[in-house]
Amino acid sequence: MSVAESGHEFIDVEVIVNGRTVRSRVRARQHLADFLRQELELTGTHLGCEHGVCGACTVLIDGRTARGCLTLAAQAHGKRIETVEGLSGQGAFARLQDAFIGLNAAQCGFCTSGMLLTAYELVSEKVPRTRNEIRDYLSGNMCRCTGYHAIIDAVASVLAEVAPA
């Protein structure tokens, strides 16, 4: 339902966020990352560029990575959203988290949640990949700290476990 209030247009949405059904009235122009961070206090989804370049805002929508800064909250109506908070400590995501820590693939951590979500999507496919393929898959996520090598190492180590060549 679309409602006009105090000069803004609002839309009623229902989304499943990390397994929990959430109903909310959102501003028509509010993007999904702001909705997650401001309304649901899921601040693990970061905002860097806010125009689709850096990947810090990556979330899963119906199991596929998406830019939280380029997706309107209203577009998420009826969809299943997963964030770093929901996946943390479980299954392959936990293995990636351990590998990132163990191989120094997280430094300041700003890119890390988006990087982990993209890596999780890749690892979930359970297809062996070369380092160049991993690098290519993660190329939409920017990191200012690590130089990427440690991140590739971490993802490759988990992929070698779940999808041996």
Binding site for ligand FES (CB under 6 A): 47-50, 52-57, 67, 69, 106-112, 143-146
Q: Which is nearer to ligand FES, 25 or 149 (CB)?
A: 149
Q: Which is nearer to ligand FES, 97 or 112 (CB)?
A: 112
At its nearest, how many Å lie between ligand FES and the CB of residue 144? 4
CB-based contacts of 5, cutoff 8 Å, min separation 6: none
Q: Which is nearer to ligand FES, 53 or 160 (CB)?
A: 53
At its nearest, how many Å lie between ligand FES and the CB of residue 7? 26
* Burial degree of 57 (CB within 10 A; 0-12, 13-18, 19+): buried
Q: How many CA atoms lie within 13 A of 17 on its CB side?
A: 23
User: What sign for the dihedral angle of Cα 128, 129, 134, 136?
Assistant: negative
At its nearest, how many Å lie between ligand FES and the CB of residue 58? 7
